[in-house]
Amino acid sequence: MASLQSPKKRVILLMIDTLMDSALQAALNSGNVPAFQFFMESGCYYPNVVSPFPTMSVNVDSTLLTGVYCDKHNVPGLVWYNQKEKRIVNYGSHVRELYKLGLKQSMEDVFFNLNHVHLNQQHKTIHQILHNEGLKTSSINALLYKGNHPTVLKTPFLLSKITGMERRMEVGSPELFSYGAFQWLNPVKKYASSWRKYGFNDKFSANEMGYLIKQNKLPNFTIVYFPDLDQSVHKNGRTDIKGIQKVDKQLQKILNQYSSWEEALTNNIWIISGDNGQSWISGNKKEALIDLRDLLSSYKIVKLKNGVTSQDEIVLGVNERMTFIYSLDNQKAPLQEIAKILKNDDRIDVIAIRNGKTITVTSGLHEGSLQFYPDGEFVDEYEQNWFLEGNTEILNLSITNKKVTYGDYPDALARLYSSFFSHEGEYLIVSAKPGYEFIGEGSPTHVGGASHGGLHKEDSLVSLIVSGTTSMPKHLRIIDYKNWILSMMVNCNNQ
């Protein structure tokens, strides 16, 4: 890459959790989202950007910042089994599970280990690259924030008291850094909205962004994370309008910091993106919830409170609509046998296992199997080469003259393959058909609403709005954002 220059136009990335076309179009039709409408009318809209897999925010944001899938950045998902430490890592699925696993360890995983231990330090983030080139960046409320600037996070007193976390943590962050009640930018409004989810909410994010604009402190690159829509869609479903309208009000606050909304476009490139989608979940509780403890009751499953014991045979890493199923002893709990059991459940549409570099996929919906691995004669729409053999219907692949086109599972081969090399261990990967989600011992449930994590396009496709430039990513995938953003830091003087 050419040496980065200090650009006239700043790049602002607003990451809105679960921003997807179905809800956005419903909100636009309601006529009550003027900020979204302004950005869309003044720029370009792309409704089908592909999210990494598993479609969970920590994995998505790791890919966004590093520009690689989880086989290289090494953050597998929200919940996974750390074979080296013989423990389940959970970045925040539900307080029930965090409590059983130990609050202190769970909080350390979320607020420190995620960025400074688990994220592969060999793959530099956007913040680190721009810092090394002498450009300033900021991060507001993004859980993934790794940068080069030494910062001390101050754990809120009550949270420290409850969990046993240290009051001070030395981290590497962007130069301008806001992280809920742990770290803030606005000295006047430091307590504004910080009581709700310790500041990890949309209002806090908008207040901090507004402060940077008002004080003329916007750096070359800014990322702002808006988390609230995720919970609204979980509860109300894929066409939730109220959640979008609430986000729009926060976007209006940001735009109102300028003398006019048009002025906001003068020296800024605005990127508004979702991180993952959500799939609908049936309102029939008994049908909607795939209880892996029942399906795999013939095996001894690790109890969260007890940790891994010598008697245990399998570990469940439940990521809502996707699950890692680990065998602790392949003699007592062969993955092939577990896969056969799961194939009897037609709510499970993807069951995958690895043997060396070969991934074999079966399904509760289709007969036969599909084998694939990289560097074969088939070329997909993202210019990736694959060896393919078997029933391509399992992953809804269309093949014409060795050209692979994806259907219900966007970029399925690369996304699924990367998950099998994201961390150590012997495991299956399973993904649920739309309408259903997995549960384990203390998993959150979203009956009658929506959920994510899975490989399906409902979980995987997000919206992207770009204003202030005609530039776009090489491919409409979040993995392509990093190179796109860095290229604009070189060229945006000419946009």
pLDDT tens for 126-137 read: 999 999 999 999
What does the alpha-carbon distance between residue 21 and residue 233 come to, in Å, rounded to a whole number? 12
Does 134 lie in the same domain as 254? yes
- Whether 192 shows a pLDDT value over 80: the answer reads no
**323 is a domain residue:** yes
Does 391 lie in the same domain as 321? yes
Tens digit of each residue's pLDDT (9 = 90 or more) over 82-93: 999 999 999 988
Does 234 lie in the same domain as 142? yes
Does 207 lie in the same domain as 276? yes
DSSP state of 103: H
Strand bridging mode 450-451 / 279-280: antiparallel
Assign 458 a pLDDT band (cuts: 50, 70, 90).
very high
Q: Checking phi first, is residue 396 left (phi over 0); if not, alpha (psi -120 to 50) or beta?
A: left
What does the alpha-carbon distance between residue 440 and residue 326 come to, in Å, rounded to a whole number? 13
pLDDT of residue 7: 59
In this structure, of 90-104, 261-275, 472-486, the range with the lowest mean pLDDT score is 90-104
Residues 6 or more apart whose CB falls under 8 angstroms from that of 349 comprise: 363, 364, 365, 431, 432, 433, 456
**86 is a domain residue:** no
Strand bridging mode 370-380 / 427-432: unpaired
State mean pLDDT over 395-415: 98
pLDDT of residue 97: 86
Tokens of 200: 């990890």
Q: Which of 332, 430, 398, 465 is nearest to 37 (CA)?
A: 465
Does 56 lie in the same domain as 143? yes
Does 70 lie in the same domain as 184? yes
Assign 493 a pLDDT band (cuts: 50, 70, 90).
very low
Tens digit of each residue's pLDDT (9 = 90 or more) over 223-251: 999 999 999 999 999 999 999 999 999 99
**108 is a domain residue:** no
Does 275 lie in the same domain as 290? no
| CA 298 distance to own-chain centroid | 33
Which secondary structure element, helix H or strand E, spans residue 457, and what is its range? helix 457-460
pLDDT of residue 17: 96
- Whether 6 shows a pLDDT value over 60: the answer reads no
Assign 2 a pLDDT band (cuts: 50, 70, 90).
very low
Q: Checking phi first, is residue 448 left (phi over 0); if not, alpha (psi -120 to 50) or beta?
A: left
For residue 44, list its beta bridge partners. Answer: 466
Domain range spanning residue 393? Answer: 285-448
Tens digit of each residue's pLDDT (9 = 90 or more) over 368-401: 999 999 999 999 999 999 999 999 999 999 999 9
**81 is a domain residue:** no
Q: Is the peptide bond before 156 cis (omega within 30 degrees of 0)?
A: no
Please state, for a pLDDT cut of 90, what percent of the chain lies above it: 83
pLDDT of residue 1: 47
Does 25 lie in the same domain as 63? yes
User: Radius of gyration (Cα) for the chain, nearest Å?
Assistant: 22
Q: What mean pLDDT, rounded, does the chain reach?
A: 93
Does 135 lie in the same domain as 233? yes
With beta carbons less than 8 A apart as the criterion, state whether 443 and 319 touch: no
State mean pLDDT over 303-321: 95
Tokens of 49: 């950007």
Tens digit of each residue's pLDDT (9 = 90 or more) over 26-73: 999 988 999 999 999 999 999 999 999 999 999 999 999 999 999 999
State mean pLDDT over 332-351: 97
Assign 336 a pLDDT band (cuts: 50, 70, 90).
very high
pLDDT of residue 4: 56
**85 is a domain residue:** no
CB neighbours (10 Å) of residue 135?
A: 19
User: How much of the chain is helix, strand and coil, in % rounded to 5?
Assistant: 35, 25, 40
Does 276 lie in the same domain as 425? no
State mean pLDDT over 275-292: 96
More confident residue, 105 or 160: 105
**47 is a domain residue:** yes
Does 299 lie in the same domain as 388? yes
pTM: 0.94
**123 is a domain residue:** yes
What does the alpha-carbon distance between residue 349 and residue 467 come to, in Å, rounded to a whole number? 38
pLDDT of residue 389: 97
Residues 6 or more apart whose CB falls under 8 angstroms from that of 263 comprise: none
Does 463 lie in the same domain as 377? no
pLDDT of residue 98: 84
**CATH number of the domain bearing residue 162:** 3.40.720.10
Number of domains in the chain: 2
- Whether 270 shows a pLDDT value over 90: the answer reads yes
State mean pLDDT over 85-111: 89
**359 is a domain residue:** yes
- Where a domain ends, among 448, 469, 485? 448
